[in-house]
Every structure is written in C-alpha cells, then in structure tokens.
C-alpha cells in the first residue's frame, strides 16, 4: 500500500467465520507464472486494491484476491508457497495468509484494533506485523506464530509508531522504522526485542523496506523533497542513493541474489511497478496500468 498517500475505504467481503475466529475465504485456483515472480497490489480490476503476481519481466499477470474490499502488503513465505497480506474484507485491517496461487485464504489476526504489514521469519515459523492493539493510535511491532496460534508478543511497546519491520537474512535481528524521535528513522533490534539501536539520524523521514540476502538494507527517504530509493549497510554506513527522480519512488524489494530491485513510482503520473539493477542502473517499467500498481515484493 502507498502508506503515505492512499485513502482506504472500509468494505467487507464475503467470508466464512469459523468457531476458532479464523476466517476462510473461497477463491478459484489460478495458474501461477513460472519462477521469478513478483507479488504486487493493483486497482486495475474495479477500484479496490487486490493482490496479483507476475513474472519479473512484468508479463503473465495473475489475480489472487477478489473481494469488495482493499487487500495490500503481500509478503512471500521463505519457501514461496504462501503469501501473507493485509485485508479490510471484514471492515477492519487484519493479517491473512493464502497459498501462492490464491487458494485457502485464512485470517490470522482478529482484534478490534488494526493489524497490518507482515514479514516472515527466514525459517517460516513466525510472522512480524504491526498493531495498535496495545495502544490505540500508536503502532507497535508484534511477532506471532505463522499459523496465527498463540498470543502475539509486542516487541517494541513504545509511545511512537513502529512500523515496516523486516527480519535480517539469518533471523537474528529485526529492522523497522519509528517516529519515536519526532520523524521516521530506522532502528535495529535483536529478534526478541532487545539491544535496540538507531541506525539513521536525519531530519527527514527514512522508511525501512527490505533486507537483502547479501546484507544490504533497502529504504526510502524524502531528503530532497520527494521519496527516492537508497541502500546502506546494516549498521547504517555506506548509504548510496539509487534513484533520483522528481517523482516519488517507494518500497524497494531485492531479488533472491540481490542483483535486482523492484519498486513502485509515480514518475509517469501513475503508480507503476519498476525494476532496476542493484546499483540503480537499467530502470525498467513493469506495469503500464492507468490504475494504482504498488507494493511490489520479489519472491525469494
């Protein structure tokens, strides 16, 4: 989701509520593109955000969700068999998971406060997400079992908004951004929430987006009046600007080998998905819809 600009509409879709509180949503199985897939969000089929996948060249687009409500923030499981996402289909933002072909859509969270933005642990056993359940109006980073069982644990419990949490490649650390010091900065903590340290120190907003298998952190900031894509080492050093465009470039996601990055941008006047080499060269537009295309994430 364009977390800065997108206005969401609350609209519930059809679903079945089980006694356990888990919701199952039926959806016809769709054939998936071959390896080299990107999951993304689009409004191309009716004005609601829905989850799609495509090949990494922008071809063979397949729609995975189909509800009269917004779905956004897809996140691949480490083995590529499942996709977690956020949905408003029950009128409240909650975390769901589905098979990578769109079947067996299951609700994982069920709380009166919003739950959103998921990230799988490298071993696939845990999911990070963000919730206001402990402090309405202020988001914290939570971790839960990947099947939604048990009680989610609050890792940050701060007065600020803590969001966009991502696991390190080895699962030992978590990076996220927070406005606890007055603007969005990037922090890293151990996987149990201890040993917190701030790795960006700016007067502009830094938004955490991805942590590559090679150890690089991809993020965006607006230091030049619009959002551009940057990378840095996990200690905050060696910051390199990759995009430099008057439009806004958002949410970089690394390919498995770290040689490519996918992101979305307003550079043509529409929200579209682009790819580029990890050094910022070779920018290629992957989607050409006049509707919003956003939230791209590379299957790793």
Residue 106: the pLDDT is: 97
Domains of the chain: 16-298 (2.120.10.30)
CB 76 within 8 A of CB 299: yes
Residue of 19 and 158 predicted with greater confidence: 158
CA distance 298 to 75: 9
Q: Given pLDDT bands bounded at 50, 70 and 90, which one contains residue 31?
A: low
Torsion, Cα of 37, 43, 49, 55 (10° steps): 0
Over 90: is that where the pLDDT of 262 sits?
yes
Residues 258-273, mean pLDDT to the nearest whole number: 96
| Most distant pair of Cα atoms in the chain: their distance | 52
In tens, the pLDDT along 42-75 reads 999 988 999 999 999 999 999 999 999 999 999 9
Share of the chain above pLDDT 70, in %: 88
Torsion, Cα of 100, 274, 211, 126 (10° steps): -20
DSSP reduced 3-state for 228? strand
- Return the residue matching tokens 């004005």: 47
Residue 300: the pLDDT is: 87
Residue 10: the pLDDT is: 27
Question: Sheet of 284-285: strands edge to edge?
Answer: 249-254, 260-265, 272-277, 284-285
pTM confidence score: 0.89
Over 80: is that where the pLDDT of 209 sits?
yes
Give me the chain's average pLDDT, please.
Answer: 90
């Amino acid at each position: 989701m364009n977390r800065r600009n997108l206005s969401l509409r609350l609209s519930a879709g059809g679903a079945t509520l089980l006694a356990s509180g888990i919701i199952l949503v039926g959806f016809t199985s769709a054939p998936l593109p071959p390896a080299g897939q990107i999951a993304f969000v689009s409004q191309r089929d009716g004005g609601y955000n829905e989850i799609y996948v495509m090949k990494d060249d922008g071809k063979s687009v397949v729609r995975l969700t189909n509800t009269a409500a917004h779905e956004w923030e897809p996140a691949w499981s480490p083995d590529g068999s499942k996709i977690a996402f956020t949905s408003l289909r029950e009128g409240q933002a909650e975390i769901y998971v589905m098979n990578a072909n769109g079947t067996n859509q299951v609700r994982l969270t069920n709380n009166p406060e919003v739950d959103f933005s998921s990230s799988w642990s490298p071993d696939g056993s845990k999911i990070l997400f963000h919730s206001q359940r402990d402090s309405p109006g202020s988001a914290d980073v939570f971790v839960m079992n990947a099947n939604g069982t048990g009680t989610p644990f609050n890792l940050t419990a701060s007065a600020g908004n803590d969001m966009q949490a991502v696991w390190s490649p080895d699962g030992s650390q978590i990076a996220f951004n927070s406005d606890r010091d007055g603007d969005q900065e990037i922090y890293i903590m151990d996987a149990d929430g201890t040993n917190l340290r701030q790795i960006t120190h700016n007067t502009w907003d830094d938004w955490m987006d991805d942590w590559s298998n090679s150890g690089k952190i991809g993020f965006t900031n607006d230091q030049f009046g619009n959002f551009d894509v940057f990378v840095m080492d996990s200690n905050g050093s060696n910051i390199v600007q990759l995009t430099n465009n008057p439009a806004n470039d958002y949410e970089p996601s690394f390919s498995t080998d770290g040689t490519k990055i996918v992101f979305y941008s307003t550079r043509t006047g529409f929200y579209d998905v682009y790819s580029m080499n990890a050094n910022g060269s070779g920018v290629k537009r992957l989607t050409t819809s006049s509707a919003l295309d956003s939230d791209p994430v590379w299957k790793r």
